[in-house]
Structure 1
Amino acid sequence: MKKALVTGASRGIGRAIAEELGKDHHIYAGASKDASDIVGALPSAEPFEVDLTDTDAIVRAAREITELDVLVLAAGVLHKAPFTELTDAEWRESFDINVLAPVTLVRELLPALRRSRGLIITINSGAGFNGYPGNSAYCASKFALRGFTDSLRLEEEGRVRVTSLHPGRTDTDMIAGAQHGDRPKMDATQVVRAARLAVDAGPEAVVEFLRVRPVEGERA
């Protein structure tokens, strides 16, 4: 059975992807604290519990994984506030979790992924292309994640496939308090379908980029 590590697997998009890939993969279920709920819901899974702001802890946990086919970097944090109200701690956490944790995980797991000619999927955002008011830390971190992903894809060409997946507004607890007016949100299952497309495309083809967003409604 192939193996997949999904960070942020305890909730939201990460959980939805873990449940889908769990149909035909052994899942390392990433969570900051307790992964027992998602592990218990999957046919074959084990916890990957690690504080993504702790680089040493990430390294120790990743080095326990010697075989890996798919790495899905779905964990993320959103601090929504005007720039003048964001604290240094919120900026650091945004980059620690959204950028530096993925960098560390890729560095440690790249040998295993090269051996399997595997796949890395970064769950980015529309905020990786556009700035939005009240989202400066999140947008900056997602721009950085996109740059890392795009460069990694070029460097690993022919060895590891790399997909940058950019969901639009998705109905998860991360944006539950965000103000979107009457603009629609999509279910996480729509993001799952995009991720599955990238997984099923290989190993002889790579889906380099995917953008999926909710339909805005009828247009004239």
Structure 2
Amino acid sequence: MADNDAILISGASGCIGSTLARLLHADGRALVLFGRNRESLDKLAVELPGAEVLVGDIGHADTLAGTTTFPERLAGVVHAAGICEGRPFADSDPAIIREHLEVNLVGPSELTRLALPALRAGRGSVVLVNSLVGLYPWPGWIGYAMSKYGLRAFAETLRLEEFDKGVRVTSIFASRVATPLQAKVHAQEGKEYVPDEWVQPETMARTIRTVLDTPRDAELKDITLMHQHYPRP
């Protein structure tokens, strides 16, 4: 990985993605801002001179090959895009489950596949923002849980397949992060949302930066990031 190799951030205009982009830009890193909303990405790019904008819809994986081009080398691909809607299985809707799988699993896997030549050339890292729901079952979130368990399996398999090609893979299993998505989740649960009680986007961004900056003699396989009030045994 060369210092000037780019890092692609999927979901770059979202809360975690944009926070990470600002942090890495301040470090002097080259960036590719990926997402489906060009207006939001262009607005962020104005803040971050030199950042490249790449528009694609992670929720429609079959369109990515025709719309997505990459630099020759990538130091990393960070998957920070995602959706979450709570619903128990008895009340589930196949369309909603399918959407979770497309956005949270199929899209990231296809984007990674397309980026593999650049990741191999740059001996880069794939960082997947997962969830504690990807480790432990949680009732009422069937579509989200299915997608996050799948993302975990994808990471484990990709790591084994790409290890000898120099590509590292890290999953970050995070508890609740203070983002607009978390506000929506609280509303679905009928609970008061207090952002300061949860993991801050800046903390998540710094954690991702640590993964990307880990020297080549080591690999951070899995990270579990819990908020300060998470119950402990």
Q: Fold-level match, TM-score > 0.5? A: yes
1:120 positional shift? 0.6
**CA–CA distance in 2 between the matches of 1:200 and 1:64?**
21
Q: Deviations over 1:62-108 (max 9, x none)?
A: 33433211100111011222223332221111011100111111111
**Which residue of 182, 207, 216 corresponds with 2:220?**
207
Q: Does 1:15 align with 2:28?
A: no
**CA–CA distance in 1 between the matches of 2:91 and 2:230?**
34
Q: Give the equivalent residue in structure 2 for 1:26.
A: 30
Higher helix content, 1 or 2? 2
Q: Which amino acid aligns with 1:17?
A: L
State the superposition RMSD in angstroms: 2.1
1:218 positional shift? 10
**Which residue of 90, 114, 129 corresponds with 1:123?**
129
Identical columns (%): 29
> Are the counterparts in 2 of residues 99 and 142 from structure 1 also a CA contact under 8 Å?
yes
The ranges of structure 1 where at least 4 consecutive aligned residues each deviate by more than 3 angstroms after the TM superposition are 61-65, 179-183
> Are the counterparts in 1 of residues 56 and 68 from structure 2 also a CA contact under 8 Å?
no
Q: Does 1:63 align with 2:69?
A: yes
**CA–CA distance in 2 between the matches of 1:192 and 1:80?**
25
**CA–CA distance in 2 between the matches of 1:6 and 1:61?**
16
Q: Which amino acid aligns with 1:192?
A: A
> Are the counterparts in 1 of residues 56 and 64 from structure 2 also a CA contact under 8 Å?
yes
Residues 202/85 of structure 1: CA separation in 2 closer, same or farther (3 Å cut): same
Q: Which amino acid aligns with 1:194?
A: T
**CA–CA distance in 2 between the matches of 1:59 and 1:111?**
13
Unaligned runs of 5+ in 2: none
Q: Deviations over 1:26-49 (max 9, x none)?
A: 211112122112111213212111
> Are the counterparts in 1 of residues 126 and 168 from structure 2 also a CA contact under 8 Å?
yes
SS at match of 2:184: coil
Residue range with higher mean Cα deviation, 95-104 or 77-86:
77-86
Q: Give the equivalent residue in structure 1 for 2:42.
A: 36
Q: Give the equivalent residue in structure 1 for 2:146.
A: 140
TM-score (norm 1): 0.91
Residues 151/45 of structure 1: CA separation in 2 closer, same or farther (3 Å cut): same
Size of the alignment, in residue pairs? 220
> Are the counterparts in 2 of residues 3 and 68 from structure 1 also a CA contact under 8 Å?
yes
1:206 positional shift? 1.3
SS at match of 2:105: helix
1:191 positional shift? 0.8
> Are the counterparts in 2 of residues 72 and 122 from structure 1 also a CA contact under 8 Å?
yes
Q: Give the equivalent residue in structure 1 for 2:5.
A: 2
Q: Give the equivalent residue in structure 2 for 1:165.
A: 172
SS at match of 1:177: helix
Q: How does 1:185-200 map to 2 (within 5 A)?
A: 185-200=198-213
Residues 68/60 of structure 1: CA separation in 2 closer, same or farther (3 Å cut): farther
Unaligned runs of 5+ in 1: none
**Which residue of 171, 175, 186 corresponds with 2:182?**
175
**CA–CA distance in 2 between the matches of 1:70 and 1:144?**
21
Q: How does 1:39-58 map to 2 (within 5 A)?
A: 39-58=45-64
